[in-house]
Structure 1
Amino acid sequence: MHAGEQTALRDIVLVGGGHSHVVVLRRFAMCPLPGVRLTVICSDTHTPYSGMLPGYIAGHYRYDEVHIDLRRLAEFAGARYFREQVLGLDREQRKLLCAHRPPLAYDRLSINIGSMPAVSQVEGAAEHAIPVKPIRRFNERWLALLERVRQHAGVTTIAVVGAGAGGVELTLAMQYRLRKELRLLGRDPDELRFHLFSAAREILPTHNARVRRAFEQVLVERAVVVHCDAEVRAVGSGHLRTARGEMLAADEIVWVTQAGGAPWLRDTGLALDGSGFIQVHDSLQTVSDPLIFAAGDCAAMVDQPLEKAGVFAVRQGRPLADNLRRSVLEQPLRAYHPQARWLALISTGDRYAVASRGALHTAGTWVWRWKDWIDRRFMARFNDLPAPVVAMTKPERGHGAVPLDAAESTQAISAIAMRCGGCGAKVGATVLSRALAAVHPLERDDVLIGLHAPDDAAVVRVPPGKAMVHTVDFFRAFIDDPWQFGRIAANHALGDIFAMGAEAQSATAIATVPPGLESKVEETLFQMMSGAIEVLNEAGCALVGGHSGEGRELALGFAINGLIDESLAGVMCKSGMRPGDQLILSKPIGTGTLFAAHARLQAKGRWIDAALLSMDQSSQLAASCLREHAATACTDLTGFGLLGHLVEMTRASGVDAEIDLLALPVLDGAAETSAAGILSSLQAANVRLRRALRDPEQARSHPNYALLFDPQTAGGLLASVPAERASACIAALRSLGYQKAVCIGRVLPAADDLAPIRLKL
C-alpha cells in the first residue's frame, strides 16, 4: 500500500491510460510530490501503444510487447489504480461518475482517453462495422476473424473504411497476417479480398506526394482495391454503400475514420470543439475549468490545432505532468509548444516501412528496423521497471509544500503529530457521520436498533427456531482501491457463514483509516464502506454498527452473525467427511503469491484483475448449491491455505484424503510467480504443515505443490460431496458462475500412516 505512507493533501486523478498519462505516471514515479496522491482510473489494465499495433496485427509482436501494464506502472509510481469505466463528471462537487462504483473525488483532474471512430454518424456503422477503437474490443474481433479465416475455406472480403496512415497501415498488416496464415494451412492466400475506402480523392492526405505514391504502389502490388472519393454513407449486414451509390459485399467492415470525442464528454459542461474534443489552452488546461486538464487525441488545442497523432500525446506527457504539479502548488503554468513537423514511420505489413517528415521521404527494411528500435525503447521505459523504492529522486527545487487553507493546515499538522491512543484514536464524529450518511445498509425486520440509531449497541432479534452463528475476520488492505478492498473484506468475512450453511443476518464493522485531512479520511471511509455494504446488502446482511479508528494502514474487518436452524439441519461442518466422497473446490487458488508478486512489480496486471474478480465473487450461491447436492462437510479457504484447511477437515472427520495436484484450479500467473519463489509472508508458517503429507519429496517439483500452502483471501469453498452427486454438483456450480469449480481429489478411509494427505501426481 502506498496510500498510507504519506498524508494525502491533494488528489490528482488521471482518467484514461493514454500515452500522455503513462508519461505522467513515470515522471511522478521518478520525482513524487509530497502530499499529492495520484490515482489512475481506466477500464483497460493493459493500455496499447498505437505505434506498435500494426506490428501486432501483422504477427511481429506478442500482446505484452505492444501493451503497457497500467496497474503495474501505477504501483511503480506509488499511484492508486482503479479499474473502472467513467461515465460522467460532476464539476460542482468535483467528482467523477463511474459505472460500477461510487463517485470519486478529485482536486485536479486530467483526461487522456483518446478518440473514438464516429460510427454513429453513418447509418448502420455502429451495428455492423468494427471500429478500431477501443483497441481492446477491436482486438477481440480481430482474433475472432483470424480464427474464422483459419477454420473456414472460401473467399473472404474485408473492407477498411479510412485511408489515412492508420487505415492504410492496418489494411496491409491484416492482409499480411491473414495471407501468411492461409499459406501455413496450405490454402490459397488469394481467398482474401481487401478493399480500402477513402472519402478524399487520395490516400494519406496529410503526407507528401512521394509517400502517397509509395503506398499506392504497395497497395497495387498487394491487390488491395482502393476506392478514392468514396465516402461511405451506409453500412448493413455484410455490405456498405458509398455516397456515389457504389455497393460492396463484405464479410468484415473495419472503421478507421471520422474520429470524435467520447460521448460522455458532451454532458460534462466542458467546452468541446465540433468533433467533441475537449478544448484546452497551450498549458493543456481546459478552457472551461482550471482544475481539469486534457491531453492526447481527446484534447483540441484552441491556439494550435494538431493532427491526431500519437507523437503529440507522448510529447504532451512531460508538460502535462509539470503543469499538474504547478497547478496543485498554485504556481504559474507553462505552455506546451508542439513541433511544427514530426517524423511518421509507417509500416507496409511486412518488415518494411516508409519514413515521412514534411516533404522528406525514405523507405526500406532498415526504416522498419529503425522504427522497431524506437518503439521497443519507448515501451521499455514503462515495462522494464526497477524494483519498487520509496522515491526515485528527491523533489525538484521550487516544488514547495502544497498550499493549504487554515483549517487544512491544522488538520495536516495534527495528522503527522503524535497521535493519541485509546478513544483518542477514533475517527472524528463529524467525519464518520458524513461518510456513513452516504451509505445505505440493508434494512431487516429482525434488526430492532441498527446503524443509524444513536444508541451504544445494536439490537437484533433471533427468530424462533433459529440458532446464532458467529464469526469475525479482519485484515490490512492489500490493494490501493478502498472500494474494491471493502468488497473483498466483506466477502472474506461472509465466507465462514456461508461455509456453515447459514444465512447472514447482521454485521458490525471495525475499520482503521490513516489520519489526514478530514475530507480525505471521509472519502476513504466512504469508498471502503460503500464497497463493503454493497456486498453485505447483496448477501441479505444488515450492517448494524461498528467502530472506526486511526492507524498507519487501511484495514477493515467484520463480526458477522448468521442464522441456522437450531436443530442444526443443513449445517455443513468440517467433521462430516466420509470415505468415498469427492473433494470439490469452487474457486481457483493463488491469491497469496500473486499479491506478493504485485508488490514486487512481478505480476502482470491482468493476473491481478482476474484474482480480484475471483475474490469479489460471493460464495453464497456456491454454498446453497453444495447443500442441494448433499455436501457432507465444507469450509472456506483463507489464510491457512488449501492444505491447512483440508487437514482440519480430515482430523475432525477421522478420515484421510487424496489431492490430485494436476486438477487444482489455479489463478492465472500463480504458477509462474510461485515458481519464481515469490511467496506470501504467511507461506513459511503454512509450509510447516507439510508433515501432513505422505512422501512430500516426490511432489516438490510439481508446479502446483507450493500452492498447497498459499494463503487465500476471500477464497472458495472446499467441500466433500457424495461421489454419485459430484459431477452434477460441479456442473451446477459452473452454471452459477463458478467457472473453475472442479473435483480436486477424494476422501479416503483413515490409514495407519500419521500423515493424512496423499498427493496424486
Structure 2
Amino acid sequence: MKHEFPLTRDLVLVGGGHAHALFLKMWAMKPLAGARLTVINPAPIAPYSGMLPGFVAGHYTGDELYIDLVRLARAAGARLILGKAAHIDRSAQQVVLEGGARIGYDVCSIDIGITSGMPELEGFAQHAVPAKPLDDFARIWDGFCKSSGKAQVAVLGAGVAGAEVAMAAAQRLRNLGREAEVTLIDRSVALSRLGAQARGKILAALKHLDVTLLEHAQVERIHADRVQIAGQGDVHALLTLGAAGTRAYEWLEATGLALQDGYIRVLPSLQSESDPAIFAVGDCAHLSHAPRPKAGVFAVREAPVLFHNLRAALSGGAVQEYHPQKDYLKLVSLGSKNALAEKQGIAISGRMMWRWKDRIDRTFMRQFEELKPMAGPTLPREHAKGAREVSGPICAGCGSKVGRGALARATLEHKGAEREDVRALKGDDAALLQMGAVQQVLSTDHLRAFSDDPALMTRIAAVHALGDIWSMGAAPQSAMISLILPRMSAALQERTLREIMQSASDVMGGAGAQIIGGHTSMGAEFTIGFSVTGLVPDAPITLGGAQVGDVLLLSKPIGTGAILAAEMQMRARGSDVAAAYASMARGVALDAKSLAGAHAMTDVTGFGLAGHLGNICRASNVAAELDARAVPLLSGALELAEAGVQSSLYPDNLSDALTLMKPPQTARGRLMLDPQTAGGLLAAVPESEAARAIDALAAQGIEAIRIGRIMDGPVRLDLIE
C-alpha cells in the first residue's frame, strides 16, 4: 500500500476484539499521518459474541457471525499479521508471536478477550471445547450439528453465558429433528448473579426446551463420551462445552504488567498502570478505577476513548478518561427467537425483545460490511488517444507483471554477448550456466506487495523465486534479496528489515540456500524479490522435454489472481484470502522431488495455468489438452470469477492464449488464465510414472491432480470446460 507521508511510528493492535474492530473502522475514516498500523490476530475473522447464541441456535449463519478482519484492515490501511501473540518483550518493545516472530511497536493495544478453558479439570483439554475463544467453538459446534444419531451435549457453567449456549443448542437440535439430551451443569446455584425476575424467566425457558439442570454438581473428570460427577454418576455427552471459569490468558503473566487476577490493570485512560506505551481493552482488561463484569458492552463503549488516546500517544496529545456506566442493559437469547431484557432488576421477555436484540446485533455488524472499495482513477475529459478508465487498481503479486506478448516481443530483439558457458533454454525463465562439470541455474523474480506484512510477503516472494529452481530439478544454492521499502524513519526501517531477514532466512535456509547479499532502496511502495541460483546434478528439467502421451499433473490449486484482485476491492472473504496466503507460502521442494521423473516441468505463475502450459507446448512442439473441470481451485476463486472479478493482467494473458486456444466460455475456463503467485508445479509426466508421483506427493500431504495430457501437434491447447 502507498503512504502519502513517511512512516515514523508503529501502532500495534494485539487481538481482533470488538474495541479493536471499532477502532479500525474509525481509523479507516480518519488515519493518522506517519503512523503504521498493524493488527495481530490468529485468524482472518473475529466472531461477534453478541450473535453467538443465535449462531448456535441456527438463527445466524457463520458468515453473519464473523467480522472480516482482512477487509477491515484493507479499509484502514493496516497490515494484518495472522499469528498468535505469546509474549510482550517490553524492554525491546516487541510483541513476540508463537513461532518466534517479533513485531516492534511504539504504542501497543491489547484486546484478546478471555478463555473459558479449564486446564485444572482432568480430561477437559482432551475432550471438551471452551466457549471462549469463540473461533474453535463455532467451528466444532457446526461440525457436531452435521453429524447424525442421538445428540448428547453437556454445558459446564450455569451462568448467563452457559444458559444461553444450552438453550441455543437445544433449540438447534430440536429444529434439526435430532433426538437430543442437553444438560447444564453448575458447581453452585444457576444464574446466581441475576435478579429474581430474570432468573425465573430463564429457568422457565430452560425447562421449556427440556434442558436438564444440575446444580451443586462437582465435575471430577471429562471423558470422550461422558462427564463424571462426584456422587451423582455420569452425564452422557458426546460434546462437552465449557462456559464456566473464564480467565485471562496465561502468557500475560510473564509480561511484567500490573495484573488483577491475570487481567491487565488499566487506568481511566485505558493505559496499563505499569507501562504507558501499552493499552488494554475489553475482557482482558481490569478497570482498576471502576471494576465491571466481563461484558461486550464495555468494549464497545471503550472504543472511542481508545481511538482518541492511541492517537494522542502517537502524536503527543492529551488523553481522555473512560468511565463506564454503573448498570447496563442485558439482552439474553432464550434459544428460540425470544429474548430477555434485564436492567436494574426489571426483566421483560418475548419475541419483541428478540427483534430488539437482533436489530442491535445486525446494526453493529453492518458497519463492518459497508466498507468502501478502492476505486480506479476517473478519466479526465481531456485525455490522450487510447486512454481508458480502469475498473480498479493495478493488481499486486504476479498480477502486476508485464504481459507475455509484450515481454516476448521486446526481448526478442535484444540479446547480450553469446557465451559458451551460458546455455539458452527455450522458454524457460531460468538460465543454465556451465562451468566445467558444474551446472548452475540462475533466476530472478520480484513482486509488488499485496500485503503490508513484510514477513508474509518475504516468505511468498522467496517461495516464488525458488519455483524456477525447483521446477528445473535443481537444488537451491544462493540468494540475493532486492527490496524497496516505503518511506519510513530509520527506526522503522530497522524493525522492518529484521522481520524481512528473519523470514528470508527461514525460507532460504530451509531450502538449503545461503543469502549472500542484496540491495535495498526507498520508494513509493513495498516491493520485494530474490535472485537465486541452484545446482543441477544431472540434466535439467526444461519446458522443451514434453512427449506425446505424457500426463499433466498440478501440485497446487489455482485462483490467487482473482482472490488478490478481490481483496484489493474488499470483495473477498477473509478466510479465502488467508487460505490463498497459506497456499502461496508453501514451498514446492517436496513437489519437485516427487516429480523428478517429469519430461517437462514449470512453476505456474503470472501467465496463468493455460499460459504456462502453452509455453510447454511451444518449447516442446506439441499440443495439449487441459481439463478445466479437473483443475483444483482455491476456496472462493470460482465464486469471484463468476461475479466477474479478474486480475488486471487477465486481458494480456487472454490475448496471448488466443494464439493457441479458443476463448474460454465459462468462469472456470477463465480461471485457467488467472495469474498465479507462488503457484504449484505443472509437470508433464510419463503415463507409467503418473500414479507413482501422485502417491509420493500424497505421502507428503500434497494433493496432485491429473488435469490433462500431451498430444501430437500442431502446437495448440484444447481447453475442456
TM-score, normalised by the number of residues in structure 2: 0.89
2: CA distance between counterparts of 1:462 and 1:748? 32
2: CA distance between counterparts of 1:486 and 1:110? 26
Deviations 1:445-498 (A, max 9, x none): xxxxxxxxxxxxxxxx99973211111112221211000111111111110011
SS of the residue 2:81 aligns to: strand
Q: 1:541 aligned to 513, 532, 536, which one?
A: 513
**By how many angstroms is 1:207 displaced?**
2.1
**By how many angstroms is 1:232 displaced?**
3.3
Asked whether the equivalents of residues 316 and 336 of structure 1 are also in contact (C-alpha less than 8 Å), the reply is yes
Asked whether the equivalents of residues 636 and 718 of structure 1 are also in contact (C-alpha less than 8 Å), the reply is yes
Asked whether the equivalents of residues 18 and 300 of structure 2 are also in contact (C-alpha less than 8 Å), the reply is yes
Partner residue in 2 for 1:352: 338
Asked whether the equivalents of residues 659 and 758 of structure 1 are also in contact (C-alpha less than 8 Å), the reply is yes
Q: 1:592 aligned to 556, 561, 566, which one?
A: 561
SS of the residue 2:338 aligns to: strand
Residue 635, structure 1, aligned to residue 570, structure 2: no
Partner residue in 2 for 1:223: 210
Letter in 1 for 2:129: I
Letter in 1 for 2:96: L
**By how many angstroms is 1:518 displaced?**
0.4
Partner residue in 1 for 2:199: 212
2: CA distance between counterparts of 1:247 and 1:646? 62
Residue 756, structure 1, aligned to residue 710, structure 2: no
2: CA distance between counterparts of 1:521 and 1:210? 60
**By how many angstroms is 1:711 displaced?**
1.2
2: CA distance between counterparts of 1:339 and 1:562? 65
Q: 2:613 aligned to 639, 642, 646, which one?
A: 646
Partner residue in 1 for 2:441: 469
**By how many angstroms is 1:210 displaced?**
1.1
Q: 1:174 aligned to 169, 184, 188, which one?
A: 169
1: CA distance between counterparts of 2:502 and 2:375? 31
Deviations 1:360-400 (A, max 9, x none): 2111112111111111111001122122479xxxxxxxxxx
SS of the residue 1:644 aligns to: helix
**By how many angstroms is 1:82 displaced?**
0.3
Asked whether the equivalents of residues 90 and 268 of structure 1 are also in contact (C-alpha less than 8 Å), the reply is yes
Partner residue in 1 for 2:363: 377
Partner residue in 2 for 1:304: 290
Letter in 1 for 2:260: D
Residue 682, structure 1, aligned to residue 683, structure 2: no
**By how many angstroms is 1:159 displaced?**
1.5
Distance change in 2, residues 1:323/1:171 (3 Å): same
Matches within 5 A, 1:104-115: 104-115=103-114
Q: 2:549 aligned to 544, 569, 580, which one?
A: 580
SS of the residue 2:683 aligns to: strand
Letter in 2 for 1:199: R
**By how many angstroms is 1:690 displaced?**
3.3
Deviations 1:600-635 (A, max 9, x none): 1111111111111111111111111101xx211001
1: CA distance between counterparts of 2:207 and 2:696? 56
Q: 2:465 aligned to 463, 487, 493, which one?
A: 493
Q: 2:530 aligned to 558, 568, 579, which one?
A: 558
2: CA distance between counterparts of 1:512 and 1:32? 23
Partner residue in 2 for 1:745: 708
2: CA distance between counterparts of 1:389 and 1:517? 29
1: CA distance between counterparts of 2:209 and 2:447? 61
**By how many angstroms is 1:271 displaced?**
1.2
1: CA distance between counterparts of 2:220 and 2:375? 55
Residue 704, structure 1, aligned to residue 668, structure 2: yes
Asked whether the equivalents of residues 157 and 193 of structure 1 are also in contact (C-alpha less than 8 Å), the reply is yes
1: CA distance between counterparts of 2:229 and 2:557? 51
SS of the residue 1:689 aligns to: helix
**By how many angstroms is 1:652 displaced?**
1.2
SS of the residue 1:314 aligns to: helix
Deviates more, 1:232-241 or 1:595-604: 232-241
Residue 661, structure 1, aligned to residue 628, structure 2: yes
Partner residue in 2 for 1:13: 12
**By how many angstroms is 1:318 displaced?**
1.3
Q: 1:235 aligned to 222, 227, 240, which one?
A: 222
Residue 362, structure 1, aligned to residue 348, structure 2: yes
2: CA distance between counterparts of 1:389 and 1:8? 24
**By how many angstroms is 1:223 displaced?**
2.0
SS of the residue 1:639 aligns to: coil
**By how many angstroms is 1:730 displaced?**
2.0
Runs (5+) with no aligned partner, structure 1 = 184-188, 391-460
2: CA distance between counterparts of 1:248 and 1:644? 60
Residue 732, structure 1, aligned to residue 720, structure 2: no
Letter in 2 for 1:671: L
Residue 325, structure 1, aligned to residue 311, structure 2: yes
Superposition CA RMSD, Å: 1.9
SS of the residue 1:23 aligns to: helix
Partner residue in 2 for 1:411: none
Matches within 5 A, 1:202-281: 203-242=190-229, 247-274=234-261, 276-281=262-267
TM-score, normalised by the number of residues in structure 1: 0.84
SS of the residue 1:121 aligns to: coil
Partner residue in 2 for 1:341: 327
Deviates more, 1:246-255 or 1:70-79: 246-255
Asked whether the equivalents of residues 452 and 526 of structure 2 are also in contact (C-alpha less than 8 Å), the reply is no
**By how many angstroms is 1:6 displaced?**
3.0
**By how many angstroms is 1:143 displaced?**
2.8
2: CA distance between counterparts of 1:672 and 1:118? 37
2: CA distance between counterparts of 1:245 and 1:353? 32
Asked whether the equivalents of residues 116 and 133 of structure 1 are also in contact (C-alpha less than 8 Å), the reply is yes
**By how many angstroms is 1:721 displaced?**
0.8
1: CA distance between counterparts of 2:679 and 2:662? 27
**By how many angstroms is 1:140 displaced?**
3.0
Distance change in 2, residues 1:704/1:157 (3 Å): closer
Deviations 1:415-453 (A, max 9, x none): xxxxxxxxxxxxxxxxxxxxxxxxxxxxxxxxxxxxxxx
Distance change in 2, residues 1:118/1:496 (3 Å): closer
Distance change in 2, residues 1:693/1:289 (3 Å): same
2: CA distance between counterparts of 1:5 and 1:542? 36
Q: 2:158 aligned to 142, 149, 163, which one?
A: 163
Partner residue in 2 for 1:125: 124
Partner residue in 2 for 1:428: none
Letter in 1 for 2:711: L
**By how many angstroms is 1:750 displaced?**
0.7
2: CA distance between counterparts of 1:251 and 1:526? 47
SS of the residue 1:120 aligns to: coil
Partner residue in 1 for 2:383: none
1: CA distance between counterparts of 2:628 and 2:488? 47
Matches within 5 A, 1:28-47: 28-47=27-46
**By how many angstroms is 1:251 displaced?**
2.8
Asked whether the equivalents of residues 80 and 452 of structure 2 are also in contact (C-alpha less than 8 Å), the reply is yes
SS of the residue 2:363 aligns to: helix
1: CA distance between counterparts of 2:613 and 2:234? 66
SS of the residue 1:40 aligns to: strand
Q: 1:192 aligned to 145, 162, 180, which one?
A: 180
**By how many angstroms is 1:708 displaced?**
1.9
**By how many angstroms is 1:88 displaced?**
0.4
Number of paired residues? 665
Matches within 5 A, 1:428-507: 465-507=437-479
Matches within 5 A, 1:596-607: 596-607=565-576
Runs (5+) with no aligned partner, structure 2 = 377-432
Partner residue in 1 for 2:590: 621
Asked whether the equivalents of residues 574 and 634 of structure 1 are also in contact (C-alpha less than 8 Å), the reply is yes
**By how many angstroms is 1:44 displaced?**
1.4
2: CA distance between counterparts of 1:476 and 1:695? 31
Letter in 2 for 1:162: G
2: CA distance between counterparts of 1:463 and 1:243? 77
Residue 316, structure 1, aligned to residue 276, structure 2: no
**By how many angstroms is 1:242 displaced?**
4.6
**By how many angstroms is 1:516 displaced?**
2.2
Letter in 1 for 2:566: A
Runs of 4+ residues deviating >4 angstroms: 241-247, 461-464
